[in-house]
Amino acid sequence: MTFSSQSVMMANRAPYTPQSLPEAFYQTATNEGRMRQAAALPEAPVVPDETFREPVMRPPPPVEPEPYRIGVGDRVLLATESAGTTVEELSGLLAAQTQRQGFTVRDDGTISIPDIGQARLAGLTLEEAENELFDVLIANELSPAVALEIAEFNAHKVVVGGAVGSPTVVPITLQPLTLGLAVAAAGGLDVPEPRFATIRIFRNGTLYQIPVDTFEDDADLQNLILRSGDAIFVDLTYDLDKALSYFQQQIDIISLERESRRQAFSELQAEIGFRQAALNERRSNFRTRLELGAEPRDYVYLSGEVASQSRVPLPFDQRASLADVLFESGGFDVTTGNPAHIYVLRPSPDPAEFGAVTAWHLDATNPAAFTLAGRFEMRPDDVVFIEAQPITRWNRTLRQFFPVLINTAQSAVTE
| Chain centroid to CA 60 | 44
Q: 388 pLDDT exceeds 90?
A: no
HEC per residue, 130-197? HHHHHHHHHHCCCCCCEEEEEEECCCCEEEEEECECCCEEEECCCCCCEHHHHHHHCCCECCCCHHHC
The C-alpha atoms of residue 38 and residue 41 are separated, in whole angstroms, by: 9
What does pLDDT average to over the chain? 79
Task: Classify each residue of 103-116 as buried b or exposed e, where b means 16 or more C-beta atoms within 10 Å of its C-beta.
Answer: bbbbbebbbbbeeb
Q: 84 pLDDT exceeds 80?
A: no
Residue type, 353: E
Taking residues 98-114, what's their average pLDDT?
76
Domains of the chain: 5-18+297-405 (3.10.560.10), 23-66+156-294 (3.10.560.10), 69-152 (3.30.1950.10)
In eight-state DSSP terms, residue 85 is -
Model confidence pLDDT, tens digit, residues 176-234: 999 999 999 999 998 887 877 899 999 988 899 999 989 989 999 999 999 999 999 99
For 43: left if phi > 0, alpha if psi spans -120 to 50, otherwise beta; the answer is beta
Select the more confidently predicted residue: 328 or 39.
328
Model confidence pLDDT, tens digit, residues 30-64: 544 444 444 454 554 444 444 556 678 899 998 88
Taking residues 239-243, what's their average pLDDT?
56
Query: Do residues 279 and 29 lie in contact, with contact meaning Cβ atoms separated by under 8 Å?
Result: yes
Q: What is the pLDDT of residue 406?
A: 53
The rounded percent of the chain whose pLDDT value lies above 90 is 25
User: Which of the residue ranges 160-174, 195-209, 377-391, 394-408 would you say has the lowest mean pLDDT?
Assistant: 394-408
Q: What is the pLDDT of residue 21?
A: 81
User: Which of the residue ranges 31-40, 241-250, 290-299, 371-380 would you say has the lowest mean pLDDT?
Assistant: 31-40
Q: 293 pLDDT exceeds 50?
A: yes
The pLDDT-based confidence of 400 (bands split at 50, 70, 90) is low
Query: Do residues 76 and 161 lie in contact, with contact meaning Cβ atoms separated by under 8 Å?
Result: no
Q: 391 pLDDT exceeds 80?
A: no
- Which range of 63-67, 87-91, 179-183, 236-240 scores highest in mean pLDDT? It is 179-183
The pLDDT-based confidence of 409 (bands split at 50, 70, 90) is low
Taking residues 285-314, what's their average pLDDT?
87
The pLDDT-based confidence of 153 (bands split at 50, 70, 90) is very high
Task: Classify each residue of 279-315 as buried b or exposed e, where b means 16 or more C-beta atoms within 10 Å of its C-beta.
Answer: beeeeeebeeeeeeeeeeebebebebbbeeeeebebe
Select the more confidently predicted residue: 62 or 81.
62
259 backbone dihedrals φ, ψ, rounded to 5°: -65, -40
Q: What is the side-by-side order of every strand in the sheet holding 310-313? A: 310-313, 299-304, 383-388, 337-347, 357-362
Model confidence pLDDT, tens digit, residues 331-354: 677 677 888 889 999 988 877 777
Q: What is the pLDDT of residue 83?
A: 43
Query: Do residues 177 and 65 lie in contact, with contact meaning Cβ atoms separated by under 8 Å?
Result: no
Identify the burial level of 98 via C-beta atoms within 10 angstroms of its C-beta, where 0-12 means exposed, 13-18 middle and 19 or more buried: exposed
Cα dihedral 409→411→413→415 (10° resolution): -150
Q: 305 pLDDT exceeds 50?
A: yes
Q: What is the pLDDT of residue 413?
A: 54
What number of other Cβ atoms are within 10 A of residue 234's Cβ? 24
The pLDDT-based confidence of 371 (bands split at 50, 70, 90) is confident
Model confidence pLDDT, tens digit, residues 158-177: 999 989 999 999 999 999 99
